[in-house]
């Protein structure tokens, strides 16, 4: 997930392309997909899960190229809210910021549910028992304190944990594919049970796996040759994540085909795989690495959403209190606190109604997809306006923006039709109501100025 802009004390030109790319990939948290997202994807798309990631990766590559219209011309750390607001006007910019608050807030709530699940897995078989609500409250409080005090996620720690986690997953994938042999899994090639079905909804949910690919734009002050390094890292992180997701989910479907329960019935599919292939000692490190990866995602989302709320408060789109700065730590304390409180309320409220942590993760992840699809569409349009104003718009630039929008329309439509099963069938209307509330609020604030 995207982080806030780097502090002024960070060294200029200190990060190579490989370091920026690796850090950007770490902020995506790719290990979360085969560990937790894949079962839900399989429930929607069946053996077409890999295809959903091929489509999603292609779609977001075009979005990345749109983001690079800004990144390759300016090394200043930017945000999608700023890009849209600067080039599509304050009203559309306000909707973009409002949408980002929805998207990042629900991602944070989703990974709170994931962390509760991981802690429960770690405590299983021990005399220690913590209710899921207590786990969520403790972890959210720690994340809030870190964001409040301005403690940046250590790039080194994130990289090490994610590299360890991804390396273990690659090892498992290699063992599964070696055991399967060189032949392709015919069912997946022929997309058995993928159509008709929820492959469109799976593409929308696949966006949840990629969130954070644009985070390389936060390293403008540190990257060597930033106008070259950052655009390459934005696209490179999407390409790496796409390949990783396609291969990992393909291997999981293959490996679990004879495990008694298919992928969509697995709570912790990699745990089942390591047991089935006689490498059960990897279960603990996978769980620990996934917990820390989820925490990094949660903290990054709270930090980023807090900065968006702060910017909107400064612009007068939210109450002026959101523009407050805590002088001791120089952080937008009010914005960060409100974002954390709302995120925590969503997770705790769901747990209070006996929603399982895995369902919180899946449902909040789906809800976040609405926001990201809309903001990515706005970015594609803003990129077109930006290049036109510069007098630098080429036919290729127009094609890239149009293709990005066309690709995004597919998951946008399938979030509503065919009508999903409950509770997902209501999610689109929740999002539309949220947008309407934001639009009315912005009209009210303009009228009162």
Compare 261 and 248 and report the one with higher pLDDT. 248
- Taking 90 as the threshold, does the pLDDT of residue 292 lie above it? no
Counting Cα atoms < 13 Å in the Cβ hemisphere of 297 gives 37
* Domains in the chain: ranges and CATH: 17-442 (1.20.1740.10)
Q: Which of 430, 418, 449 is nearest to 200 (CA)?
A: 418
43-58 pLDDT, tens per residue?
A: 888 888 999 999 999 9
- Taking 70 as the threshold, does the pLDDT of residue 154 lie above it? no
The pLDDT value recorded for residue 8 is 37
> Quick check: helix, strand or coil at residue 126?
coil
The pLDDT value recorded for residue 426 is 93
- Taking 70 as the threshold, does the pLDDT of residue 449 lie above it? no
Measure Cα distances from 37 to 1, 351, 365 in Å.
Answer: 16, 19, 9
Q: Are 324 and 332 in contact (CB under 8 A)?
A: yes
Structure token digits, residue 183? 């032949």
pLDDT mean over 343-354: 95
Q: Which residue has the tokens 């559309």?
A: 92
Q: Which of 21, 19, 26, 28 is nearest to 1 (CA)?
A: 28
The pLDDT value recorded for residue 414 is 84
- Taking 90 as the threshold, does the pLDDT of residue 357 lie above it? yes
- What percentage of the chain has pLDDT greater than the value 70? 90
Q: What is the mean pLDDT of the chain?
A: 86
162-206 pLDDT, tens per residue?
A: 888 899 999 999 999 999 888 877 777 776 555 445 677 888 889
Structure token digits, residue 390? 């510069």
Burial category of 159 from C-beta neighbours within 10 Å (exposed 0-12, middle 13-18, buried 19 and up): middle
The pLDDT value recorded for residue 147 is 82
Q: Which residue has the tokens 């049970």?
A: 193
Measured CA to CA, the distance from residue 196 to residue 189 in angstroms comes to 16
Q: Which of 339, 227, 326, 251 is nearest to 1 (CA)?
A: 339
> Which run of H or of E encompasses 177?
helix 155-180
pLDDT mean over 278-283: 90
Q: Which of 368, 359, 397, 381 is nearest to 132 (CA)?
A: 359
- Taking 90 as the threshold, does the pLDDT of residue 76 lie above it? no
Q: Are 52 and 60 in contact (CB under 8 A)?
A: no
DSSP 299-366: HHHHHHHHHHHHHHHHTTSS-GGGG--BTTTTB-HHHHHHHHHHHHHHHHHHHHTT--HHHHHHHHHH
365-391 pLDDT, tens per residue?
A: 999 999 999 999 999 999 999 999 999
| Cβ count within 10 A of residue 429 | 10
> Which run of H or of E encompasses 251?
helix 226-256
Measured CA to CA, the distance from residue 9 to residue 306 in angstroms comes to 21
- Taking 50 as the threshold, does the pLDDT of residue 111 lie above it? yes
Q: Which residue has the tokens 């697995």?
A: 266
Structure token digits, residue 367? 């809800």
Q: Which of 435, 429, 427, 288 is nearest to 363 (CA)?
A: 427
Compare 330 and 126 and report the one with higher pLDDT. 126
At 6, the pLDDT band (50, 70, 90 cuts) reads: very low
Name residue 331's beta-bridge partners: 326
The pLDDT value recorded for residue 155 is 54
- Rounded to 10 deg, the angle between the 199-210 and 49-71 helix axes is 50
Task: State the pTM of this model.
Answer: 0.89
Compare 426 and 27 and report the one with higher pLDDT. 426
Q: Which of 224, 229, 265 is nearest to 46 (CA)?
A: 265
pLDDT mean over 329-344: 91
At 5, the pLDDT band (50, 70, 90 cuts) reads: very low
At 347, the pLDDT band (50, 70, 90 cuts) reads: very high
Measured CA to CA, the distance from residue 435 to residue 218 in angstroms comes to 27
pLDDT mean over 128-144: 92
The pLDDT value recorded for residue 260 is 75
Structure token digits, residue 156? 């080194």
215-246 pLDDT, tens per residue?
A: 777 666 557 888 888 899 999 999 999 999 99
* Least confident range of 158-162, 168-172, 406-410: 158-162
The pLDDT value recorded for residue 443 is 85
> Quick check: helix, strand or coil at residue 15?
strand
Measured CA to CA, the distance from residue 300 to residue 28 in angstroms comes to 10
């Amino acid at each position: 997930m995207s982080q806030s802009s780097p502090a002024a004390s960070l060294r200029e030109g200190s990060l190579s392309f490989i370091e920026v790319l690796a850090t950007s990939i770490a902020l995506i948290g790719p290990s979360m997909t085969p560990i937790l997202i894949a079962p839900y994807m399989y429930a929607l798309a069946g053996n077409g899960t890999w295809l959903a990631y091929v489509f999603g990766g292609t779609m977001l590559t075009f979005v990345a190229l749109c983001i690079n219209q800004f990144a390759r011309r300016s090394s200043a750390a930017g945000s999608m809210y700023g890009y849209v607001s600067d080039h599509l006007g304050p009203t559309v910019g306000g909707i973009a910021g409002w949408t980002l608050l929805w998207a990042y807030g629900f991602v944070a709530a989703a990974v709170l549910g994931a962390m509760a699940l991981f802690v429960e897995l770690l405590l299983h078989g021990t005399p220690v028992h913590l209710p899921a609500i207590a786990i969520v409250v403790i972890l959210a409080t720690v994340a809030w304190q870190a964001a409040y005090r301005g403690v940046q996620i250590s790039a080194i720690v994130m990289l090490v944990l994610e590299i360890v986690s991804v390396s273990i997953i690659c090892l498992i994938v290699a063992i599964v594919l070696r055991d399967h042999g060189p032949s392709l899994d015919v069912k997946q090639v022929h997309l058995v049970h993928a159509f008709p079905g929820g492959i469109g909804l799976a593409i929308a949910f696949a966006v949840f796996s990629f969130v954070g690919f644009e985070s390389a734009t936060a390293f403008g002050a540190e990257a060597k040759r930033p106008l070259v390094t950052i655009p390459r890292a934005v696209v490179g992180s999407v390409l790496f994540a796409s390949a990783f997701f396609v291969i990992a989910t393909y291997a999981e479907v293959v490996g679990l085909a004879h495990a008694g329960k298919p992928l969509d019935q697995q709570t912790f599919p990699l745990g089942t795989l390591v047991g089935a292939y006689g490498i059960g000692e990897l279960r603990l490190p996978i769980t620990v690495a996934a917990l820390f990866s989820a925490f990094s995602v949660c903290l990054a989302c709270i930090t980023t959403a807090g900065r968006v709320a702060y910017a909107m408060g400064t612009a007068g789109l939210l109450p002026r209190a959101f523009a407050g700065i805590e002088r001791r730590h120089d952080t937008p304390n009010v914005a960060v606190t409100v974002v954390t409180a709302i995120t925590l309320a969503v997770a705790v409220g769901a747990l209070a109604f006996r929603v399982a942590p895995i369902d919180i993760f899946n449902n909040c992840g789906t809800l976040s997809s609405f926001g990201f699809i809309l903001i990515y569409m706005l970015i594609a349009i803003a990129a077109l306006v930006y290049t036109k104003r510069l007098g630098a718009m080429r036919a290729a630039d127009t094609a890239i923006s149009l293709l990005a929008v066309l690709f995004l329309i597919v998951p946008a439509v399938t979030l509503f039709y065919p009508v999903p099963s409950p509770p997902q069938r209501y999610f689109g209307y929740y999002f539309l109501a949220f947008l309407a509330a934001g639009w009315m609020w912005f009209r009210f604030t303009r009228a009162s100025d």
